[in-house]
Amino acid sequence: MKKVGIIGVGEYLPKKILTNADLEKMVDTSDEWIVARTGIKERHIAAKVEASSDMALQASLQALESARIKPQDLDLIIVATITPDMPLPSTACVLQNSLQAKKAFCFDVSAACAGFIYALTVAQQFIARGGCKNALVIGVEKLSSITDWKDRNTCVLFGDGAGAAVLSEVKSGGILSSYLGSDGSAGELLMVPAGGSRLPASHDTVDKRMHYVKMRGNELFKIAVVTMTHAAQIALKQAGLECKDVDLVIPHQANIRIIMAMAKKLKLCEDKIYLNIEKHGNMSSASTIIALSQAVKEGRVKKGDIILLDAFGSGLTWGACVIKW
């Protein structure tokens, strides 16, 4: 099996910023509540005309440039998203066309907040087994398009953005391990009930606001802490490493309290955890890869560093991945 690593990263955040003060004018909430309960101060919101593939394109161009790979050299494009441009064609195919990456085969992965780690692991398998050489993996969300802006329980949490990574064979290091898991029995804790084959769009589903995210946050909170801790432990064990060996943890950015509770359980000090939740909120599939791209640009990731990606989301799904940079 070939060693596979990330050889370039990029990210894109839409221009518009929605602050907690803006939200105070929209629903019965306060900056104080949002900061204390979630750690979020602001989030980026895509323009009306900006679809997921548009954001993905910008992040991809940056990642390809940093990897020094041309779109024509891509063999595979995977887009992790729960907010595709449309049900079909896949956002990955739309992106392929924008990039003119004609050689690549393309598909989407739907695993919510764990989406990027799922897509990364799938791409790694293709390259490791010789099925392809260069892969582009994207996490992108326009969560503002499925957010109920009248529901204070959810609308304060989400943001939009895209992150991209180019994967290829590496001589040393790369992805050391990845652990993925799912539990469909708890799916109703976080869902968009309508818009699929179960409840196609109708006047009734629109009137009942069923095309928006419904979440039982309090129940999810506890599961998230336990699951992310467990996933990190398994991925590290598979890589033959311990928590003390990790240089930087990049957790999914759903709630600062979830991240800190997990850090406490893993006995991780705060300076080893990358946080961007304050400025971006929860961007589901896009969160971990945007954080990784920002961490690289800020010089927080150096050659030889051990990086742990860890995420949890709707499905339920979870995943953790250990990378030697």
| Residue positions annotated with a catalytic role | 113, 252, 282
Shortest CB 176 distance to ligand ACO, Å: 25
Q: Which is nearer to ligand ACO, 66 or 81 (CB)?
A: 81
Coil vs helix vs strand at 19: strand
**DSSP secondary structure string, 161-183?**
EEEEEEEEE-SS-EEEEEEEEE-
Residue found under tokens 């759903």: 254
* Spatial distance between the Cα atoms of 94 and 106, rounded to a whole number of angstroms: 9
User: Could you count the other beta carbons within 10 Å of the beta carbon of residue 172?
Assistant: 8
Where on the chain is the footprint of ligand ACO (CB under 6 A)?
29, 33-34, 37-38, 112-113, 152-153, 156, 190, 217-218, 220-221, 224, 254-255, 258, 282, 284, 313-314
d(CA 211, CA 150): 13
By C-beta, is 8 or 313 nearer to ligand ACO?
A: 313
In the complex with ligand ACO, the residue whose CB is nearer, 71 or 139, is 139
Specify the 3-state DSSP secondary structure of 67. helix
Minimum distance, C-beta of residue 38 to ligand ACO, in the bound complex (Å): 5
Q: Which residue bears the tokens 């005309």?
A: 49
Please say whether the beta carbons of 282 and 159 come within 8 A: yes
User: Hey, what are 159's tokens?
Assistant: 């943001």
Q: List, in order, residues 6 or more apart from 76 with CB less than 8 Å away.
A: 104, 105, 106, 123, 126, 132, 134, 135, 136
CA distance 293 to 274: 11
Instruction: Give the contacts of 268 (CB within 8 A, at least 6 positions apart).
Output: 243, 246, 249, 262
Q: How far is the CB of 33 from ligand ACO (least distance, A)?
A: 4
Side chain identity at residue 186, one-letter code: A
| Least distance to ligand ACO, CB of residue 262, Å | 11
Looking at the Cβ atoms of 82 and 136, the one nearer to ligand ACO is 82
Write down the least CB distance from residue 220 to ligand ACO, Å. 4
Nearer to ligand ACO, 31 or 305 (CB): 31
Residue type, 310: D
Nearest residue (CB) to ligand ACO, 34 versus 321:
34
Min dist CB 94 to ligand ACO, Å, is 22
